[in-house]
Amino acid sequence: MSKNIKSIDIPLPATATIPVFADNAKTVLERRYLKKNEQGEVQEEPWEMLWRVARTIAGADALYRPEQPLDKLARQFYEMMARRDFLPNSPTLMNAGRVLGQLSACFVLPVEDSMESIFEAIKQTALIHKSGGGTGFSFSRIRPRNDVVHSTKGVSSGPISFMNVFDGATETIKQGGTRRGANMAILRVDHPDIMDFIKVKADLGLLNNFNLSVAITDNFMQAVANNEDYDLLNPRNNEVVARKSATKVFRQIVKQAWLSGEPGIVFIDRINADNPTPAVGAIESTNPCGEQPLLPHESCNLGSLNLSHMVKDGKVDFAKLKEIVELSVHFLDNVVDVNHYPLPIIEKTTKENRKIGLGVMGFADMLIQLGRPYSSPEAVKTAEEVMGFIDRTAGDASSRLAEKRGSFPNFKKSIYAVGPDSRPMRNATRTTIAPTGTISLLAGCSSGVEPLFAVAFVRRVMDNDEFFEVNPLFAELAEEQGFYSKDLLKKIAEQGSVQGIEEIPRKYRRIFETAHDITPKNHIDIQAAFQKHTNNAVSKTINFGHLATEDDVMEAYQLAYSLGCKGVTIYRDGCRDNQVLNIGKTDKKPGKEGERLIKRDRPRRLNGSTYQMTTGCGPMYVTINEDDDHQVFELFNTVGKAGGCAASQCEAIGRLVSLAWRSGMPPEPVVKQLIGISCHKPAGFGNNRVVSCADAIAQAIRQHLEKTNGCKDASLQGETMFGACPECGGVIEHEGGCCICHACGYSECA
């Protein structure tokens, strides 16, 4: 932070708004955001946090108008946040006005084709993750596997081997931190190792700290359209080393995304077509959720407008929206100056372009208030109209700031310095649609530009009590119209949707659509509508039903490309078999009517193996017995000298697993249901990490299957983020290219 930035040490006026947060939002604030002492005791109230942030960010104005008092601006920033009309990204809320002071969420680091560059990037990654940021990388410059290394006369191990080193470093760093390290790995589609990259997460035990995306070029998409081959280029010398069928590669991307949700795709040429500073350098990567393309060593700070607060008398309140956009641009530009950057080169590069990313949350809530279904043409029109207004207003606000403070230093190398429409510009980019899982929970609105996650769902608290979390707009409407009841909420929570529930009038069922009620095309139409008026990119998950085909996914990718999207992330419901949903049911194929399972009698003698596992409750011994046909038959387990709940729960699991196996169920579904379940006493690190007794049982079964089959089953490997929330056990939902728990605010990408 500059020495010229004043510290505004004034009390909050008595007339200020005191924010009211829901119970789950209070829990998230206490766990993640509010100051704590060395004993972990919370030392500030939510309003104090917001006042701390407002005073700190307003202090940057001292650089440009030192004679002006800053208390008025601090109050404006505070009121905007306290009324939850706008919230900045999580690092700003957590760290502004505190010792760490690192306020950016997004970073991109360069990875060149040398050991020096690779391990320098790993060191820089560690410092960024320590400060609470996420990192994106392009590994496209690293020479392919088995390519020549002249200095040693050996051969290269390729980009994927080095990605594993980054992943291991992140795993180590996050063990001692409060925020997960999040990474994005991008590889160009014309890299010789592209097929290995596409398939790498077929083994779910690999690269758990990475999101993967393929950088797809316009030439590649043209080759797909024409069913042609395309060139693979060695990045060491840019020579063509092979040609490959574009259709075959595209189908492999589609297949793997259909199977597991990864890799995503980014349309890298389209991203660079909108690069505001092409003379400075080309964009090769994005942040972990894909919405923020950045140059090497650039960072970006984000914030989101609450669109649910921008409706008045059944219409969009453009006057209020204009006021909040202008104040938000001022706020985010100040963050660039106040920020404590983790590395000097990041501070230099960031301040040369001063990129900010103003986005939105609560779009689904806005549509409900306007009476427009998410899947309707009116919703698409609303998205274009609202985001177009935000983008124009943000551009005008940035231009006015430039007149007072000067344009960003690289302005003369930018697209704004040429042409008949040239004008001063303070920020190289102004708008980004980010995932807002945690801050939208604080704001009490829907996430980003996603449809509703659910109208009602069950939330479990620490003592296993259950209560219904219901969309406040639905609760208000249902009470007004006289059809609100606890039985109705239970039915909605079980079904995961209001569709088909006769107690709810059809016109309201239509308005309260959820993510699984609409088609992938509806998702893409909304993403494309926002992308038309967004400088950077739009983070959005395209949801598919369980029975969707690979061709359905391929059509969605092609539609997204044709409509001008900059990237796509898809998720097919239940594609990772250990996904645990507590809303609705996956549309799986039914069994034969009248089919009945028969439990086999136990022989007097069985052979088996015993596996020792280390758990947070002590050593566990898992015995798996097989029948004469070498099929698993029963499972016993004991947990050290543990008694009480731990022992009884483990015995119960063993009995139920044995019953399932004796009734003919194969072992794999048991592993997939138990693996990754978390408790408050995990044990071990990395590949040896056991997150609960249930997880230990699953890992023992997996080891037994590997021993008897002589190979690993990739579908059973490792802890994934596609099951129960690791913090509260709630449902993990896929939104904005990330994994979010709506019950407690947990975010994989935080």
Tens digit of pLDDT for each residue in 302-316? 999 999 999 999 999
Structural domain includes residue 378: yes
The whole-angstrom separation of Cα 330 and Cα 416 is 19
Q: Helices 520-531 & 377-405, crossing angle to 10 degrees?
A: 30
* pLDDT score recorded for residue 677: 84
Is the confidence at residue 645, as pLDDT, over 70? yes
Omega cis (within 30) before 263: yes
pLDDT-based confidence at residue 277 (cuts at 50, 70, 90): very high
Write out pLDDT tens, residues 540-564. 999 998 889 999 999 999 999 999 9
Nearest residue to 202 via CA among 266, 263, 289: 263
Structural domain includes residue 239: no
* pLDDT score recorded for residue 350: 98
Write out pLDDT tens, residues 365-421. 999 999 999 999 999 999 999 999 999 999 999 999 999 999 999 999 999 998 887
Catalytic residue among 24, 208, 289, 575: 289
* pLDDT score recorded for residue 203: 75
* pLDDT score recorded for residue 516: 86
The whole-angstrom separation of Cα 737 and Cα 106 is 14
Q: Sign (positive/negative) of CA torsion 734, 736, 738, 742?
A: negative
Report which of residues 582 and 200 the model is more confident about: 200
Mean pLDDT over 113-124 rounds to 95
The whole-angstrom separation of Cα 333 and Cα 679 is 42
Nearest residue to 437 via CA among 734, 740, 84: 740
If you average pLDDT over each of 427-441, 485-499, 634-648, 672-686, which comes out highest?
Answer: 427-441
Residue 617 annotated among the catalytic residues of the structure = no
Mean pLDDT over 605-624 rounds to 90
Mean pLDDT over 50-76 rounds to 94
- Full domain range(s) for residue 685: 607-716
* pLDDT score recorded for residue 592: 43
As a whole number, the mean pLDDT across the chain is 88
Longest dimension (CA), the chain: 91
Q: What is the CATH number of the domain that holds 627?
A: 3.90.1010
Structure tokens at 568: 């796509």
Q: Which residue intervals of 317-376 are DSSP H helices?
A: 318-338, 344-353, 363-370
Going by C-beta distance under 8 Å and a sequence separation of 6 or more, which residues neighbour residue 191? 140, 144, 159, 197, 232, 233, 235
The whole-angstrom separation of Cα 668 and Cα 119 is 39
pLDDT-based confidence at residue 348 (cuts at 50, 70, 90): very high
Residue 291 annotated among the catalytic residues of the structure = yes
Going by C-beta distance under 8 Å and a sequence separation of 6 or more, which residues neighbour residue 107? 128, 133, 134, 135, 136, 287, 294, 298, 299, 342, 346
At 185, the amino acid letter reads A
Neighbours of 480 (CB within 10 A): 9
Structural domain includes residue 353: yes
Write out pLDDT tens, residues 199-230. 998 876 788 889 999 999 999 999 999 999 99
* pLDDT score recorded for residue 689: 80
Is the confidence at residue 177, as pLDDT, over 70? no
Is the confidence at residue 573, as pLDDT, over 90? no
pLDDT-based confidence at residue 582 (cuts at 50, 70, 90): very low
* pLDDT score recorded for residue 7: 65
The whole-angstrom separation of Cα 40 and Cα 94 is 15
Catalytic residue among 287, 353, 543, 582: 287
pLDDT-based confidence at residue 72 (cuts at 50, 70, 90): very high
Distances (CA, A) of 30 to 23, 270, 275: 11, 41, 39
Share of the chain above pLDDT 70, in %: 88
Going by C-beta distance under 8 Å and a sequence separation of 6 or more, which residues neighbour residue 247? 223, 224, 227
Taking the CA of residue 50 as centre, how many other CA atoms within 13 Å lie in the half-sphere pointing to its CB? 27
Distances (CA, A) of 510 to 127, 314, 370: 48, 17, 13
Q: Among the three residues 373, 389, 424, which one is the final residue of a domain in this structure? A: 424
Structural domain includes residue 562: no
Is the confidence at residue 133, as pLDDT, over 90? no
Is the confidence at residue 589, as pLDDT, over 50? no
SS3 track for 164-202:
HHHHHHHHHHHHCCCCCCCEEEEEECCCCCHHHHHHHHH
Q: How many domains does the chain have?
A: 2
Write out pLDDT tens, residues 78-109. 999 999 999 999 999 999 999 999 999 889 99
* 3-class state of residue 420 by DSSP: coil
Report which of residues 576 and 26 the model is more confident about: 26
* pLDDT score recorded for residue 488: 93
Structural domain includes residue 369: yes
Write out pLDDT tens, residues 317-333. 999 999 999 999 999 99
* pLDDT score recorded for residue 170: 87
Q: Among the three residues 373, 391, 424, which one is the final residue of a domain in this structure? A: 424
Distances (CA, A) of 163 to 91, 168, 190, 255: 26, 9, 18, 22
Mean pLDDT over 244-262 rounds to 95
Structural domain includes residue 89: yes
At 137, the amino acid letter reads F
Q: Among the three residues 363, 389, 424, which one is the final residue of a domain in this structure? A: 424
* pLDDT score recorded for residue 29: 95
Mean pLDDT over 357-363 rounds to 98
* pLDDT score recorded for residue 4: 62
Q: Helices 363-370 & 377-405, crossing angle to 10 degrees?
A: 120
- Least confident stretch, 3-7, 205-209, 308-312, 514-518: 3-7
* pLDDT score recorded for residue 175: 46
Structural domain includes residue 139: no
pTM above 0.85, yes or no: no
* pLDDT score recorded for residue 583: 47
Catalytic residue among 183, 208, 284, 291: 291
The whole-angstrom separation of Cα 218 and Cα 207 is 28
Structural domain includes residue 10: no
Mean pLDDT over 743-750 rounds to 68
